[in-house]
Amino acid sequence: MRAYKTQHAYYCGVDLHARSLYINVLDDTGRTRLEQDLPASPTAFLDAVQPYRDGLVVGCECMFAWYWLADLCERETIPFVLGHALAMKAIHGGKAKNDRLDAETFVGTVARTADALDPATRTLLTEVHVPNPDDALRPGMYLQVKFTFDRTVFPVLIPAAAVVIRAQTPAVGVLDGNHAVHYRPVQLGRDWGTTVEVSVGLSPGETVVVRPGDDLPDGTVVEPVPQPAK
């Protein structure tokens, strides 16, 4: 994906929707010159940016409503840049993102979770408490949230098919130096579907048996074959 690197006197970012838009104009020092909610119309947009037309570039996320703005800029000979939402570096640092506050960061903490994944969506309902003294966040807003985990111990991740149940306890077939299989009880962490975390019982770098089945007794010597890459 290409990055736009041309220098301009003014930079206008547009958050565009079907009936409204929000613009933010910065000068070449990074100072905000204009912030304004507008109706999504050519006249309203051109009137708002008129003082900054000399040396102006307009940037917009690649959403469904950008076509008329691109056509307008082409007619008015205003440089126009279309950016993919996930590649716009101006918002990469944000932990919460919404339409009007794309460049602002709100830091919160997880208060509680539902303690169980939804079996249909494999999502976890989570409540996050965010300080909001200025009422910048309002009911009905949609946010993009980034969770930061402060882990000091990282579990071992193995294929889910390597886990077997022996004596009602999860176990994994581990190979010793002679390629003999030994079933070892393990404590499982998060289940990611095709892979699962092992929090206790395995060390990084150990070789495990995938799909050992019930007919592979403890102590059997096998010939290791690497699992095909997907």
Tokens of 32: 């905000």
pLDDT at position 167? 77
Residue-by-residue DSSP string for 56-89: EEEEEE--TT-HHHHHHHHHTT--EEEE-GGG-G
Tell me: the pLDDT tens digits for 187-206? 988 888 888 899 899 998 89
Strand 144-145 to 96-97 pairing:
antiparallel
Global confidence as pTM:
0.41
Residue 46: partners with Cβ closer than 8 Å, 6 or more residues away: 72, 76
User: Which residue segments constitute the domains of the chain, with CATH numbers given?
Assistant: 10-87 (3.30.420.40), 91-150 (no CATH), 153-230 (2.40.420.20)
The residues near 34 (Cβ < 8 Å, ≥ 6 apart) are 23, 24, 25, 48, 49, 51, 52
pLDDT tens, position by position, 115-160: 887 777 777 888 889 888 888 777 767 677 777 777 667 788 999 8
Residue range 38-77, pLDDT digits in tens = 998 999 999 999 999 999 999 987 666 788 899 999 999 9
